[in-house]
Structure 1
């Protein structure tokens, strides 16, 4: 019997998922978080600046300030430096205002797909370098940042991190990213999306490609390196109902570019100019002090979209009713049967 294929994007964790980890802070740590919030507020653009509302929106998310304190290992001066650097980067890059039409062409082959969640409620980004469809450009980088922002949009309450699965099946010398591009990606992820990578899972990786990871190792933060696993058993980490069938799951996702793009844009509430369709004031956006009480573990009991008898029909997502809250050097070769493997990356200090 052929499994039913679906074009439906998974925008919620599996029923019964308990979000983890939930971060709790001591009184001293909460005081440091408040001090950093006050410092960041002092750097805010004036209200007359068009980007002010978006900068404030990012700063008042309950996870923003605590993430920078944790990334700095509670060294306040370092946290100040880090968050100031990110504010300056966001003002130039404006990641939350990337116009969908600017990056949609990059998505036409499904080289980056956001759908499904791991067992801890982290949204999953699939990266398939073998599906590269454009020449190297700044737009490719903006496309990646677009997906980091969309993953943030779909994180359930209490979740602050995501999963990246890099699939090297069919990757060639032309399609694999250069080390220089990988360095740029790592810089953005490690400096401006601190404490956002929960897991980095590399699959279908021929041993010969390990040199690529050794090449980028000097630019990996030790914490990032420790989150990487090569050819793991994905079913230990991701529910079968949420894992793409290409990797052993029961989610038989069929990528159709127009339908997929429409669902993501609508699920995340993105308007044609990059703003939000409905800039509803949520608990994330109206938080005036980033010292939240630790959220309780959240167990999800909603029906899984993939289990619907109408799973191949995505028309229910075209109504726009889903709100923001729920919401890439190798030559061509035949790949050997992958086994979980450990690649001992050099331990040079991160730059």
Structure 2
């Protein structure tokens, strides 16, 4: 491939989505948690109600929380109640792009490409740090997590975080206190969203960093992290950066990247979603799609090139619409 500024927002052709399958007992627990969660919903008069409902009714939300709770209903209730309260305060799905734009200018966090299981990849380059530690840095990371949710094809509910330490120094590496805050958000409010953590080119000098955060990693998260794995086993060559031996010769250009990611995820300047044109809305109405245009969700749209199995996932009952973590 020739050098390009174009990011990859759909999985490689032929990608197979592997749906979860639940037992009748597990499905009953999912239903019970869903019923409980709906009793916690904000009243319709609250401006955030439609966004809370949008998140709560996504096919993957309730199953993820039950799996995270290891099928203990009371723990699942506690977890989802905590996240609902956090989302009402933080409003992660409504962060305006301009609020976090400066954090993306150097390409320290880029959403680009998919792994072999159709999971979006978040590329992190700590050496490109360009700001002092502020709450905005965490807001930017959360904004990126929300965008990976937008880009996940039907049946996929997790992402890959690939951290490249090739040029990182002690000065640019995040502190352990910052890492703890990131882990808290990821492990408590984006449960089962990390499908794989990949760390490459970690210098011996920085190995202490992972020893320092290890006590704060729950066993499930720890098991998902791989150091210097064979990337060809995880990422198709056409989605693997050329610098890692792949065929994807991506060159970061901020303006191009920012326009593409906001467009692909339909993010409006105020953080809401861009409405479809009247023609598109009419077409969807005629086809039986009753999703409000202002709440368009890319998860409902099958990207080109996916295998026929994706269609089966879309049409499957809720019990089969979540993707396993490998």
**Band of TM-score, shorter chain:** 0.7 to 0.9
Partner of 2:52 in structure 1? 55
- In 2, distance between residues paired with 1:215 and 1:23? 34
Partner of 1:159 in structure 2? 156
Kindly indicate whether residue 32 of structure 2 is the aligned counterpart of residue 6 of structure 1. Answer: no
Kindly indicate whether residue 42 of structure 2 is the aligned counterpart of residue 45 of structure 1. Answer: yes
- Is this contact kept in 1: 2:20–2:322, CA < 8 A? no
Kindly indicate whether residue 197 of structure 2 is the aligned counterpart of residue 230 of structure 1. Answer: no
- In 1, distance between residues paired with 2:297 and 2:180? 35
Partner of 1:276 in structure 2? 273
- Is this contact kept in 1: 2:20–2:319, CA < 8 A? no
Partner of 2:279 in structure 1? none
Pairs within 5 Å for 1:92-241: 92-241=89-238
Q: CA deviation at 1:269?
A: 0.3
Q: CA deviation at 1:191?
A: 0.5
Q: Structure 1 residues 4 and 281, CA, compared in 2 at 3 Å: closer, same or farther? A: closer
Consecutive unaligned residues of structure 2, counting only runs of 5 or more, are 276-293, 301-315
- Is this contact kept in 2: 1:34–1:291, CA < 8 A? no
SS across alignment from 1:272: coil
Greater fraction helix: 2
Aligned-residue RMSD, C-alpha: 1.7
Aligned length in residues:
290
Partner of 1:24 in structure 2? 21
Kindly indicate whether residue 293 of structure 2 is the aligned counterpart of residue 267 of structure 1. Answer: no
- Is this contact kept in 2: 1:111–1:128, CA < 8 A? yes
- Is this contact kept in 2: 1:123–1:151, CA < 8 A? yes
Q: CA deviation at 1:208?
A: 2.9
- In 2, distance between residues paired with 1:283 and 1:243? 23
TM-score (norm 2): 0.86
Partner of 1:78 in structure 2? 75
- In 1, distance between residues paired with 2:124 and 2:24? 40
Consecutive unaligned residues of structure 1, counting only runs of 5 or more, are 298-351
**Large movers: runs of 4+ above 3 Å:** 280-285
- In 1, distance between residues paired with 2:8 and 2:191? 25
Q: Structure 1 residues 216 and 142, CA, compared in 2 at 3 Å: closer, same or farther? A: same
Partner of 1:68 in structure 2? 65
Q: Structure 1 residues 217 and 156, CA, compared in 2 at 3 Å: closer, same or farther? A: same
Kindly indicate whether residue 13 of structure 2 is the aligned counterpart of residue 15 of structure 1. Answer: yes
